């Protein structure tokens, strides 16, 4: 039922729009949709997207996986403990619905999970591997860097593993300690051949995950675990994708450009609000895809504002903020009014009790915004 109802009285419309052939037409006691004068319809996508559900991040991911498993019979979801729903409930209900030959547990072997996924994907299947925490992805790093990223390239396009998607929860939760809080995205951003995608909210996560799974290249999809339950948003119920390698401007501004991804954007938004009270107008950009990243949009924004601040949870040295800073300095050097600012985690292993000192908090970001503007 897609039409918007006409606002004029129905009977008069009926008389004007329907040419009576027989008497019996005018005696119809019911009005069908065809009889109504249809005004300018809004575009199909917006109409479809109008139906939404209030979901949190893990439910949005669950919906995306459900959509893929339904639409493509050659798609598989596997990883440690995904059968019962996963430790973050992202895969709840999938095994019951699609069977254990499509949604199945693997033993505790990350390197083998990735290798297995690459093999499965090279035969034309959609292999959606889950690594239980991003901190455990390192045994699999060899398979991702040396096998997945290079397969298409080194075989001259004879073979590829584009159907591979690796999902992993990343980021700090407040009490995670050394091995449940790391942000390893920088390691993967150094590898041409794969894509790295990080959503900031449930609606973004569903669209980006569907796009990542359908992208014909291997994708590493990091989900901010802090937001699994905390972020709640209206998520469209249907199948939709958001474009990869396309950053999104979350709010427009004129004084400084802020670039971030994932859970960090929440803090950056708060810092922007506080900065606007002091008259600083901030432009906030969600990068969404880290490699290949949307350089044009960020450059256009910096050319407008003249200042850049990048923020991420990962340690400062060698983090992805360094790449953005170097790139923008190269292309917008003469336009920059202040050095590129990076507000990141400290250069220590992710600490236990010192987490509040380590994290790039809202005040650190606000401080850096002010310093940049006053440079």
CB of 114 to another protein, least distance (A): 11
With CB under 8 A as the contact rule, the residue among 162, 176, 224, 260 that binds another protein is 176
Q: Is there a catalytic annotation at residue 296?
A: no
With CB under 8 A as the contact rule, the residue among 49, 72, 139, 241 that binds another protein is 139
- CA–CA separation, 20 vs 320, rounded Å? 69
x-marked contacts with another protein along 230-249 as a string, rule CB under 8 A: --------------------
The answer to whether 347 and 316 are in contact (CB under 8 A) is yes
Side-chain half-sphere CA neighbours of 76 within 13 A: 23
- The active-site residue, picked from 80, 110, 269, 283, is 110
With CB under 8 A as the contact rule, the residue among 119, 177, 306, 318 that binds another protein is 177
CB of 108 to another protein, least distance (A): 5
With CB under 8 A as the contact rule, the residue among 26, 28, 54, 179 that binds another protein is 179
The answer to whether 128 and 65 are in contact (CB under 8 A) is yes
Nearest residue (CB) to another protein, 137 versus 213 = 137
Nearest residue (CB) to another protein, 264 versus 289 = 264
Restricting to residues 315-334, which ones interact with another protein according to CB under 8 A?
316-317
Q: Does 96 bind another protein (CB under 8 A)?
A: no
With CB under 8 A as the contact rule, the residue among 2, 42, 124, 349 that binds another protein is 349
CB of 357 to another protein, least distance (A): 6
Side-chain half-sphere CA neighbours of 327 within 13 A: 16
Nearest Cα to Cα of residue 251 among 325, 200, 212: 200
Q: Does 136 bind another protein (CB under 8 A)?
A: yes
Nearest residue (CB) to another protein, 208 versus 359 = 359
CB of 179 to another protein, least distance (A): 4
Nearest residue (CB) to another protein, 134 versus 247 = 134
Parallel, antiparallel or unpaired: strands 75-79 and 103-105? parallel
- CA–CA separation, 219 vs 289, rounded Å? 10
Beta bridge partners of 167: 130, 221
Q: Is there a catalytic annotation at residue 180?
A: yes
The answer to whether 62 and 90 are in contact (CB under 8 A) is yes
**Which window, 226-234, 255-263, 300-308, 347-355, contacts another protein (CB under 8 A)?**
347-355
CB of 173 to another protein, least distance (A): 10
Q: Does 37 bind another protein (CB under 8 A)?
A: no
Q: Does 109 bind another protein (CB under 8 A)?
A: yes
- For residue 292, whether the previous peptide bond is cis, meaning omega lies within 30 degrees of 0, is yes
Q: Does 352 bind another protein (CB under 8 A)?
A: yes
Going from the C-alpha of 291 to that of each of 159, 247, 269, 374, the distances in angstroms are 22, 11, 23, 32
Helices (H), ranges, 144-244: 151-154, 185-188, 202-214, 227-230
Q: Does 98 bind another protein (CB under 8 A)?
A: no
CB of 227 to another protein, least distance (A): 18
| DSSP string for residues in 264-330 | HHHHHHHHHHHHHHTT--EEEEE--EEES--HHHHHHHHHHHS-EEEEEEEESTTSHHHHHHHHHHH
Q: What angle do CA 207, 232, 269 make, to 5 degrees?
A: 85
- CA–CA separation, 255 vs 235, rounded Å? 32
- CA–CA separation, 176 vs 352, rounded Å? 8
- The active-site residue, picked from 80, 130, 147, 180, is 180
Q: Does 353 bind another protein (CB under 8 A)?
A: yes
CB of 55 to another protein, least distance (A): 23
Interaction site with another protein (CB under 8 A): 80-81, 84, 105, 107-109, 111-112, 135-136, 138-139, 175-180, 316-317, 346-349, 351-354, 357-358, 364, 367
Residues annotated as catalytic are: 110, 180
């Amino acid at each position: 039922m897609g039409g918007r109802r006409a606002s004029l009285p129905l009977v008069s419309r009926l008389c004007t729009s329907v040419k009576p052939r027989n008497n019996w037409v005018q005696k119809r006691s019911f009005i069908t949709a065809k009889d109504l004068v249809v005004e300018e319809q809004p575009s199909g996508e917006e109409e479809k997207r109008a139906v939404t559900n209030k979901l949190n991040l893990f439910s949005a991911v669950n919906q995306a996986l459900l959509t893929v498993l339904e639409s493509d019979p050659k798609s598989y979801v596997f990883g440690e403990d995904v059968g019962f729903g996963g430790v973050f409930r992202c895969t709840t209900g999938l095994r019951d619905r699609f069977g254990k030959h499509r949604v199945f547990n693997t033993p505790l072997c990350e390197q083998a999970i990735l290798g297995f996924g690459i093999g499965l994907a090279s035969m034309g299947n959609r292999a959606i591997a889950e690594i239980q925490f991003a901190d455990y992805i390192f045994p699999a790093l060899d398979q991702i860097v040396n096998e997945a990223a290079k397969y298409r390239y080194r075989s001259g396009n004879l073979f590829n593993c584009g159907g591979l998607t690796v999902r992993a929860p990343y980021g700090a939760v407040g009490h995670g300690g050394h091995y449940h809080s790391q942000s390893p995205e920088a390691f993967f951003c150094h590898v041409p051949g794969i894509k790295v995608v990080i959503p900031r909210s449930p609606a973004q996560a569903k669209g980006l995950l569907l796009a990542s799974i359908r992208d014909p290249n291997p994708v590493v999809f990091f989900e901010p675990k802090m937001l699994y339950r905390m972020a709640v948003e209206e998520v469209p119920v249907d199948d939709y994708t958001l474009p990869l390698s396309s950053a999104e401007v979350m709010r427009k501004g004129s004084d400084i450009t802020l670039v971030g991804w994932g859970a960090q954007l929440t803090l950056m938004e708060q810092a922007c609000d506080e900065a606007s009270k002091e008259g600083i107008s901030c432009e906030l950009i969600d990068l969404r895809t880290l490699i290949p990243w949307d350089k044009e949009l960020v450059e256009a924004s910096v050319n407008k504002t003249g200042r850049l601040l990048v923020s991420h949870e990962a340690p400062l040295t060698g983090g992805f903020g360094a790449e953005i800073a170097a790139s923008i300095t190269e292309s917008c050097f003469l336009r920059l009014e202040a050095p590129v600012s990076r507000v990141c985690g400290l250069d220590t292993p992710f600490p236990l009790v010192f987490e509040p000192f380590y994290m790039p908090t809202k005040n650190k970001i606000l401080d850096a915004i002010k310093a940049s503007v006053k440079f």
